[in-house]
Chains A and B, each alone.
Chain A
Amino acid sequence: MMWLINLAWKNLWRNKMRTTINMSAVFFAVILSVFTSSLKDGIFENLIKNVVSFHTGYIQIHLKGYWNEQILDNCLTYDVNLNQQIISISNISDATPRLESYGLIASDKNTKGCMVIGINPDKENKVTSLKNKLIRGAYLNQNDNGVLVSEGLANRINVNINDTIYLIGQGYHGTTAAGRYKVKGLVKFGTPNLNNQIIYLSMPAASELYSSAQLATSIIISLHNPKLLQSTLSNIQQTLGNEYEVMSWEKILPDVKQHIETDGNNMQYIQGILYMLVSFGIFGALLMMMLERKYELGMLVAIGMKKSKLCILISIESILTVLGGCILGLLVSIPIVYYFNKHALKLGGEIAEIYERFGFEAVFPTSTSADNFISQGITVLIIGLLLSLYPVFKIMKINPSTSMKR
């Protein structure tokens, strides 16, 4: 047995050209597979992060029934107790309350419908990076009396920072809500839907406007590990009980979810085609090798080498080649994937516009998750090993007198 391994090693080491060709087939296969898979995951993660960070959060908690009837009367009491309960659930990195309500905004010149959102400025920034969307003026303080107006809405009612606006709406339990505020800053959203109607004020100011102390319509949750979305969701539901409705971003934004899913399916086809290419590449190399060695292998059987021994010999060679190609491929794909994580691919043109309309940057960083390296490495390894059955099959069919005929 040792001498077979020894011979296999010599076959590989002393025929560097052939070994290089066979190994590179596997090597490039691994790099391609890891890269596409990392890109695919990176695109998803980035899209979801985008979706979540621009407004929705990964998970929202409402009072049961709020989603169907979004009125202030369906709001929940957000106190230290509830906050503590939520924060202590594992995988939750932060939670911030919102008080959302529709109302009217008026400037000296104009009146429009709008969505008024009361926020905890510090926490909101942690969960949805609201500060990054500020394009003019300043961000809100915790007890601020000013407001942030979305850029599109500001244009429509023709106000700028430091101008005064009026808010009119319906308060808690049918009270009338009205207030006068100074525009402290302008924020810009990619989605016209948000950009044309949102106005933010601090939670204390909102409570005062709507006479709704300690009340919130939703609690926005951010996660440590977005992959554990479903389990975290059911954890929250279990902890809080049936009084509350707990919704993932997928439920809140079904059309975005659908879009991402379609993208995912397309990527799956690409990956499938890639595996086929990869298989042909490896198979081609094996085919060439068997053609080149037809005489040699026939001669070995002729002089008395058992086919089983020959199969073991060629299999050792294949395993070493495939393994070597995989390991080298993984080693090289690590820096490549990290590079394209830091220097993300950018799309231009029409596709970029579509993405920007959704409020996403058309930027695709690769995911550096170890999963991709492991799963793709193993997949190519298995493809390589399965294809290595071809030489074994060929050897079983060797007829020395025909193999050696030229």
Chain B
Amino acid sequence: MNDIVIDTHNISRIYNPYTIPVYAIKNVHLHLRRGEFAALVGPSGSGKTTLLNLIGGLDKPDEGQIMINGTDITSLSPSALINFRLNNIGFVFQSFNLIPVLTARENAEFIMLLQGRNKKEREERITQLFKQIGLADKMNRRPSELSGGEQQRVAVARALASKPQFILADEPTANLDSKSASVLLDIMYKLNKEENITFLFSTHDQRVIDRARRVITLVDGQISSDTNIIDTSLPH
């Protein structure tokens, strides 16, 4: 069994190739194993969003290959890529993750409807997920009736509902107060520990970085350091 879920091979993303080329990502090799809980850090403009978009199949590298669970996603057709994202990758964005007209529950259910899952399967999974994110009592609220932190938790539930290979989160706590951020982190951490869910998230927040078990640092589009932290309870 190959448990490398993300394998980027020498990828680069170049903006404005014909005028003033900007290497947003330059020759990045990155491997992520199943069950990792990794933070992508670096100064603003260092390429975190660009790298996550490339790994998530939302953007294409100008050079290199991206293997997700053994599939080269850079060679997929646009519509095959959408389908691949649906079934393999969970997304949590910085904000506005949810469809405003749907309730929290409907939002999480939405992705399973896209997958064509039957009602029984959906009900079971959604109920379980809302228990795990601690929002079983607020399932029927619309996003506007939830706090920012609660919305992000629903986004995590939505991302998990499709049973993806891993979850990509681009600054999931950036718009949250520290309490909500810490609750969200707790939930993600617990899901990782107990269910072996793989997380790769970018962040600026030192407290979030402290919880990570692996910290990948980007500078000017290149990985400048990649550290494994064996026990998160130890001070950084």
Contacts and interface: CB of A to CB of B under 8 A. Distances in A.
A339 B91 CA distance: 58
B159 to A, nearest CB: 8
B97 to A, nearest CB: 7
Nearest to A306: B82
B12 interface: no
Given A10-B102, A296-B96, A299-B96, A3 B82 contact: no
Nearest to A304: B86
B111 A304 contact: yes
Interface in B48-85: 53, 56, 58-59, 79, 82-83, 85
Nearest to B96: A295
B100 interface: yes
A305 B100 CA distance: 16
- Give the interface centre of A11, A14, A304 by most chain B CB atoms within 10 Å: A304
- Give the interface centre of B83, B86, B101, B114 by most chain A CB atoms within 10 Å: B101
B93 interface: yes
Secondary structure of the A side of the interface? helix
A280 B102 CA distance: 31
B132 interface: no
Interface string A2-21: 01000100110011000000
Contact of B113 (A3, A11, A14, A295): A3
A309 to B, nearest CB: 7
Contacts of A3: 113
A340 B111 CA distance: 53
Contacts of A401: 53, 58-59
A404 B93 contact: yes
- Give the interface centre of B56, B79, B82, B113 by most chain A CB atoms within 10 Å: B82
A296 B82 contact: no
A14 B97 CA distance: 18
Given A11-B101, A401-B59, A299 B87 contact: no
A11 B99 CA distance: 9
A11 B100 CA distance: 9
A401 B89 CA distance: 15
**Interface residue tally of chain B, by bracket?**
20 to 34
Interface string A391-405: 000000000110010
B162 interface: yes
A11 to B, nearest CB: 5
A153 to B, nearest CB: 77
Contact of A303 (B91, B96, B142): B91
B162 A304 contact: yes
Interface residues of A, number: 22
Interface string A300-320: 111111111100000000000
Contacts of B158: 303
A307 B82 contact: yes
Interface string B178-200: 00000000000000000000000
Contacts of B114: 303-306, 309
B157 to A, nearest CB: 13
Nearest to B54: A401
A302 B91 contact: yes
B82 A301 contact: yes
Given A3-B113, A7-B102, A305 B53 contact: no
B96 A304 contact: no
B221 to A, nearest CB: 16
Contacts of A309: 114
A15 B143 CA distance: 13
B82 A305 contact: yes
Given A302-B91, A400-B58, A401-B58, A307 B79 contact: yes
Contacts of B82: 301, 304-307
A15 B100 CA distance: 9
Contacts of B110: 7
Contacts of B86: 303-305
Contacts of A296: 96, 99-100
Interface string B82-121: 1101110101010011011110000000110110000000
A333 B142 CA distance: 37
Contacts of A307: 79, 82
Nearest to A15: B101
Given A299-B93, A302-B85, A303-B91, 16 more contacts: A14-B100, A14-B142, A15-B100, A296-B99, A299-B97, A302-B58, A303-B111, A304-B83, A305-B82, A305-B86, A305-B114, A306-B82, A307-B79, A308-B79, A401-B53, A404-B93
15 contacts: A15-B100, A295-B96, A296-B99, A302-B93, A303-B85, A303-B114, A304-B87, A304-B89, A304-B111, A306-B82, A306-B83, A307-B79, A400-B58, A401-B59, A404-B93
Q: Can you list the 6 inter-chain pairs with the closest CB atoms, starting with the nearest?
A: A304-B86, A14-B101, A401-B58, A401-B59, A304-B85, A401-B53
Interface of B: 53, 56, 58-59, 79, 82-83, 85-87, 89, 91, 93, 96-97, 99-102, 110-111, 113-114, 142, 158-159, 162
